[in-house]
Chains A and B, each alone.
Chain A
Amino acid sequence: SSQLSSLPLQILLYVNGIYYIFYFLATLAMIIYKSQVFSYPDDLLAPDLAVLFLMAILEVPRLYLGFKGNLTEAEAPLGLSLGLTVGSVLLCVYLLLWQTYVLWADVLLNAVLLSAYGLESGLKVTAIAAFVS
């Protein structure tokens, strides 16, 4: 077949988008819960919230570029999306390891997101290789 677009990547990007909305709302709610129940000084709350919102801002172009690159079989948007994924991975690792309070639910959500990112990155690399050649 002459179709080079990767179907698993498309499915994964779509599921990632939906999962990310749930992830963002859940993490935000948990940060609010933590700030009420535990002692959460403002100078520690600000970086955690900033990281979460930055990740949300990065996610939108990342997913859009991924969709566009995969569907148009162009490697430039897909490569850009891969670059943004690296940034998202770093922010996700921060929320997993260096947040002020890491709850067990935080660990689960971030682990799932990290594995999705990892799988996506692998699929994007194979798709780029398929488009280039």
Chain B
Amino acid sequence: PADIRDAAQARVRSAPAPVTDVARLCVCDLLVAQCDISCCCDPDCSAEDFSLFTTCSVPVVTGDSQLCSQKAAVYSLDVEANPPERIFKIIDQVNPSIFCIHATNYKQALYLKSPEIPTPENFDQLLDKFGGATFSTEPDSWNVDTDAQNPPDANETSRYEYGVPVQTEDAFLRLPSPVVSSWCSDANPAGFLVNQATKCIRSVSVEKCDSIQALSMLFYINSSILAVPRSSQMVNITVQSIVVQSLNGMRTLLSSSDVLRLPIVLDELCINAVLGVNYHITHTDTGEIIEAAAAFVLGAISKEKLSIEQSFEISFTQENTQPVPLSGNPGYVVGLPVRAGFQSQGYPFPAAFLSNKHSQLTILHSTSTQDCLAAQGARAPVLFGYNMISGCKLRITAAMKCQPLAQTLLDVLKGQNFPEYVASFGNSQAQDVLDWVPITQLHISEQMLSHTLQSSCQIPVSLGIEVKWTKYGSLVNPQARIVNVTATITTTTLKQLPSGRERIIPITSSVVFTDISSPAEPSYKAWPTIDIKLPFDFFYPFV
């Protein structure tokens, strides 16, 4: 048995030699022991098969044409003969160029390199190189222990730059993310100043959940971050807040966030498992990290679940700044939210506008149940340039009273804080009163034309927001500027239903962006004028 194994190993060690003889090489011979159609070089074809062909798919097989003389196998069909037969000739092809290769003493010059066959000796090295999802060895700079590499780099400015991985004590700050498939990979480093949000799936088992490292809070805040690369100054990751999510999805914010909650198995559930981490890193303007905080979402995993989805986010803020996300600079960028706000209560002139996350222009967000009354305030922000439409279904029973229903529907359509003003430019500051456009509100009643009694019940059924924008600025780089915003509420009469019956009315809300820019007129510079004035004593002797 030992020598059979050795013999087998010896056979496996070398890959099959490549076929280089042009007479035997046939690329169209794909079917084993069967004749390939129109393949004149196929050895499985007989003379009767050749008589059925019309062309040869591979007319000539040659070696490298840079050689001075090489053999070529020429296949052709003689259609004149009856029956048609295949002609196979081996000819010498000559390259007439004076720079043709007469001879080479380097065997692999004209052939592709054969891949290395794994053997017990080189297996580890090949596994390192090719075993991961990507073909690259782990860069040596992760290893902080190799001090030999540090001296040449000591002259570099010691600060983080954009995209440089954030280093921690042992390796780097991990932001688990899906690589190739949706499974979490812990080898994704967080880049400095790169705001990322990732979601990935991790396989869990409830019995061993307290031993799975990635489910415990400690894994994410254990190693402290280096303030600058390759320094000894550490920044501990503090726990900013802990939100506990119950099995039905309800989240509660814990009041005390200094207690470390580790996953434990309780009643066939695994509680305190990390479902999401949100890192907030504060840095100085010289690229030094001064603070790091992590906000956790912990949840419970039930016994049947074999995998959970974890979400991770990291954001960077400069110290002593309050970043306000702009939607463009200065014109709006398609896809960024439209900024809106309220006029502050200054009298007689408004001083500034209040604009924050809670006063965004939003429209109703359709839910899976499509029930208006159960929508519970799910709103989606209005993004510039994206026409949106959403809706829900309202089930009206006889017992519903008109006025409360109309008010509820108005809340559903407009949301809690429907803003009064919209920013004209993406970077409009709250102090610049003239840069804000008021939202015009219109009411249209559907049955105005049929002269029905206006005193009957009117309920709003649709909200249409029309945003008119124009191109502003130079011809080559026009900026989008919002000029007019109109919110139109359409109401319809609610007819009284006989008791016991119910009706379903669709409620819709939509946002439309219209480009009202007038065609651009290029203006030209004035022709230069020649302004010649002779000095007054030019004609001196004669004047």
Contact = CB atoms under 8 A, between A and B. Distances in A.
Interface residues of A, number: 18
A103 B102 contact: yes
29 contacts: A33-B99, A38-B101, A38-B109, A39-B106, A39-B109, A97-B103, A98-B105, A99-B105, A100-B106, A100-B109, A101-B101, A101-B104, A101-B106, A101-B109, A102-B102, A102-B104, A102-B105, A103-B98, A103-B99, A103-B100, A103-B101, A104-B68, A104-B97, A104-B98, A104-B101, A104-B102, A106-B102, A107-B102, A108-B98
Interface in A7-53: 30, 33, 38-39, 41, 44
A10 B170 CA distance: 78
Interface string B86-104: 0000000000011111111
A22 to B, nearest CB: 15
Interface residues of B, number: 13
A98 B102 CA distance: 12
Given A38-B109, A39-B109, A102 B101 contact: yes
Nearest to A105: B98
Contacts, number: 43
Contacts of A30: 99
B108 interface: yes
In the A-B complex, the 7 residue pairs with the closest CB atoms: A102-B103, A102-B102, A100-B106, A105-B98, A104-B102, A103-B99, A104-B100
Nearest to B111: A39
A26 to B, nearest CB: 11
Contacts of A104: 68, 97-102
B102 A44 contact: no
Interface of B: 68, 97-106, 108-109
Interface in A59-114: 97-108
Given A39-B106, A103-B100, 12 more contacts: A38-B101, A100-B104, A100-B109, A101-B101, A101-B105, A102-B101, A102-B102, A103-B101, A104-B68, A104-B102, A105-B99, A106-B102
Contacts of A105: 98-99
Contacts of B102: 102-104, 106-107
A38 B102 CA distance: 14
A75 B103 CA distance: 40
B397 to A, nearest CB: 82
A107 B406 CA distance: 98
B98 to A, nearest CB: 5
B537 to A, nearest CB: 71
A44 B107 CA distance: 12
A106 B101 CA distance: 9
Contacts of A38: 101, 109
Contacts of B98: 103-105, 108
A105 B95 CA distance: 13
B70 to A, nearest CB: 13
A106 B98 CA distance: 9
B101 to A, nearest CB: 6
Contacts of B105: 98-102
Contacts of B101: 38, 101-104
Nearest to A99: B105
B493 to A, nearest CB: 84
A105 B102 CA distance: 9
A40 to B, nearest CB: 8
A30 B101 CA distance: 12
A74 B101 CA distance: 44
Contacts of A39: 106, 108-109
B355 to A, nearest CB: 61
Contacts of A98: 105
Nearest to B97: A104
Contacts of A106: 102
Nearest to A30: B99
A41 B102 CA distance: 19
Contacts of A107: 102
A105 B68 CA distance: 11
Contacts of B68: 104
A39 B98 CA distance: 19
Most-contacted residue by chain B among A39, A97, A98 (CB, 10 A): A39
A33 B103 CA distance: 16
Nearest to B106: A100
Contacts of A41: 106
Interface string A99-133: 11111111110000000000000000000000000
A33 B100 CA distance: 12
The winner among A44, A97, A104 for most chain B CB atoms within 10 A is A104
Contacts of A44: 106
A100 B100 CA distance: 13
A104 to B, nearest CB: 5
A43 to B, nearest CB: 10
B96 to A, nearest CB: 9
